[in-house]
Amino acid sequence: MFILRLSYLSTLYAVAYRCHIPLVSIVDEFDHDGTLLHGIEIELPLLFHNDMPRRFFFWSSGQSMSAYEYEDAALQAIAFLQSLYGFTIADYNYQTMAQYHILLQQLFSLANQGAQLARLVITAAHEPVPNNTQTVHVAEQLIHTLDSMLNLPFGPTH
């Protein structure tokens, strides 16, 4: 077993590449009280030929004592660039898990309807005069659920 930690820093580099950010730099600096700060410096693209460079600094909260001191600053920089450029970062792991959740809900519903149909068929087999109306209704619901899962049209095709 292992833990996979995704990096905001690598995401920031990918965003910078897509947004044509000319500079993303890791910065270490001492605070006025001697505390070592870890941060990220970004420079936005020039708007005009004689424009002055626009540099922004994002600092770690300073409370992290792990190997990921720059991650907090990178997340701040990503949020800043997101507000500036309006892009979206899609988390495919979450989207895949959400799709699996929907599929499992549909499969559970399908299994319940199949079990209900089986119970009706067994009960009808033991009755002297079977009542097929409810059995047919449950069977139609089962087929409808299955067709919607498979994106097939409901009912017979001619």
Q: Write out pLDDT tens, residues 108-132.
A: 888 888 888 888 787 777 777 766 7
Residue 142, Cβ density class (10 Å: 0-12 exposed, 13-18 middle, ≥19 buried): middle
Q: How far apart are CA 139 and CA 106, in angstroms?
A: 16
Answer whether residue 21 is part of any domain.
yes
Domain end (from 44, 64, 85) = 85
Query: Is the model's pTM score more than 0.75?
Result: no
Domain count for the chain, please give it: 2
- Calculate the alpha carbon distances from 151 to 27, 77, 147, 154 in Å: 53, 42, 6, 9
Mark out the alpha helices in 19-89 (DSSP H runs). Answer: 71-85
Range of the domain at 56: 8-85
Domain co-membership, 51 together with 109: no
Domain co-membership, 16 together with 80: yes
Q: Which residues contact 151 (CB under 8 A, 6 or more apart)?
A: none
Answer whether residue 154 is part of any domain.
no
Q: Indicate if the pLDDT at residue 155 is higher than 70.
A: no
Domain end (from 32, 51, 85) = 85
Q: Which of 63-77, 107-121, 142-156 has the lowest mean pLDDT?
A: 142-156
Answer whether residue 157 is part of any domain.
no
The predicted structure's pLDDT at residue 154: 43
Domain co-membership, 104 together with 56: no
The partner residues of 36 in beta bridges, in order of sequence, read 30
Domain end (from 37, 60, 85) = 85
